[in-house]
Amino acid sequence: MSLILRSWYLLRLFVFFLWDLLVSSLLVARAVLSPKDITKPRLVTIPLHVKSDAGITMVANFITLTPGTLTVDVSDDRSTLLVHDLLAGVSGDGTRQAVREGIESRVLKVTLR
């Protein structure tokens, strides 16, 4: 992959992260300031397609840096993340989908798997 293309993917990852940071901050602020308890905290397991140490570290750090989420653990075989999400809802499927289609897919392009 050319340096220009990889730089483009890195820029897109950074912009996506900033957008995700803004949206998550607003959602967490709304949950905290709401008179009713609208939080639905849950531990969610997220299967990973990223296999490199750098890729797993990037995905885990982006999750942790996003308000309302925290990477708790990586499985021994490095195939699954355990994530705490303040606003996961009943099943946590939204959290899995957001990581797979958002952060992880962009990290895959930057790290070349």
Q: How confident is the model at residue 113 (pLDDT cuts 50, 70, 90)?
A: low
C-alpha 37/C-alpha 2 separation (Å) is: 49
pLDDT one-digit tens code per residue, 63-110:
999 999 999 999 999 999 999 999 998 889 999 999 999 999 999 999
C-alpha 73/C-alpha 76 separation (Å) is: 9
Number of domains in the chain: 1
Domain that holds residue 53: 3-111
C-alpha 72/C-alpha 74 separation (Å) is: 7
Rg (CA), the chain: 15
Sign of CA dihedral 8, 19, 88, 54: positive
* Residue 18, CA atoms < 13 Å, CB-side half-sphere: 5
pLDDT one-digit tens code per residue, 18-76:
999 999 999 999 999 999 999 999 999 999 999 999 999 999 999 999 999 999 999 99
User: pTM for this one?
Assistant: 0.89
Q: Phi-psi region for residue 78, left (φ > 0), alpha (ψ -120 to 50) or beta?
A: left
